[in-house]
Amino acid sequence: MHGEYKVPGGKLVVVDLDAGEGVLRDVTVAGDFFLEPDEAILSINKALEGAPSSTDAAGLAARIDAALPEGTVMYGLTSEAVGIAVRRALARATDWTDYDWQLIHEGPQPPALHMALDEVLTAEVAAGRRPPTLRVWEWGAPAVIIGSFQSLRNEVDAEGAARHGIEVVRRISGGGAMFVEPGNTITYSLSVPEALVQGLSFQDSYAYLDDWVLGALGELGIRAWYQPLNDIATDQGKIAGAAQKRVVGPGGGPGAVLHHVTMSYDIDADKMLEVLRIGREKMSDKGIKSAKKRVDPLRRQTGLAREAVIERMIESFGGRYGLCRGKVTDEELTRARELARAKFGSAEWTARVP
């Protein structure tokens, strides 16, 4: 069995092993990480040898920590990362490069249609009718997008939204509210087979699926990192937020994961505050006094036009994993439009948590 795990902000960990009679056998850990002293790698392999194959990543990490020579130094590597790589091997997880990725980047579309496209395209990936897909959104209108479980009245100032002509829609994923205006945000979705995140905890899957964009930002001169559970941050503030939804495959079989991210390119913070009810408790939890400081626009940090930032991100993804341009099929678009009308554009769905 073979498992790989790219440490967020670190190096690649590779594990090859067998699992017989419920225990790990012939374990070999490798990768492009740095480790001192040399014999520490043998200690890691020995610590994993004979471990029950049901041991979770944290338990495997504890075995490794107990076996490491005193003074061991790891760079680009952690004991937990090795444990995750083992779990991914046992789960027969796939890797980014195992797939032929498709890019969808089309013209502006209504907010409700974006919500529907996420659901439809991810279901198509789960059914095996669509390859793993990176979809870059273009917004046809300003909107507030609330999480699947958020209270509408607690999150949105209805009078402020109406005054500014801002549509309110509810997405299928959890997480917090997003304020978007055309040209002011960069939003993308990843619709990926469940096998890509096999062996990862829910939290680890966020870091794993965000890793490519951290690299893309680094190429733009922005040092960014994953901040649990679902933020991307820089030393100048939060720059993006992510959300996920798991979709079950046909007949209850292997499914797919929707992972979408909204990044702030430029933002009208005053308008945002008139539309969103950002509570004091949320702000104090993040240690920030002013809501205006919650986001840090990409425009200021890169000095590039929004279109240039998007193009550089797409190029970075394609350079890592390969990417061919595609489109939403006529059948997918028809289904999405009907779903936008019947579900995402309905008051019943939007106010399902009043």
Contact 256, 249 (CB under 8 A): yes
| Spatial distance between the Cα atoms of 55 and 58, rounded to a whole number of angstroms | 8
What is residue 129's predicted lDDT score, i.e. its pLDDT? 96
pLDDT tens digits for range 262-286: 999 998 888 999 999 975 445 444 4
Give the residues of the chain that fall short of pLDDT 70.
Answer: 279-296
Structural Rg of the chain based on CA atoms = 22
Contact 349, 170 (CB under 8 A): yes
Contact 237, 253 (CB under 8 A): no
Q: Identify the residue whose tokens are 């991810």.
A: 122
Contact 189, 121 (CB under 8 A): yes
Q: For CA atoms 63, 65, 69, 75, give the dihedral sign.
A: positive
Residue 104 contacts by C-beta under 8 Å, 6 or more apart in sequence? 121, 133, 134, 135, 136, 326, 327, 328
Beta strands 133-136 and 102-105 are: parallel
What is residue 8's predicted lDDT score, i.e. its pLDDT? 83
3-state secondary structure of 167: strand
pLDDT tens digits for range 86-132: 999 999 999 999 999 999 999 999 999 999 999 999 999 999 999 99
* Residue 206 vs residues 127, 145, 226, 271: alpha-carbon distances, Å: 22, 20, 8, 29
H-only helix segments in the chain: 40-48, 57-67, 79-90, 111-126, 152-155, 158-163, 202-219, 269-275, 280-285, 298-302, 306-321, 330-339, 347-350
CB-neighbour burial class of residue 261 (10 A; exposed 0-12, middle 13-18, buried 19+): buried
What is residue 287's predicted lDDT score, i.e. its pLDDT? 44
Strand partners, 136: 105, 188
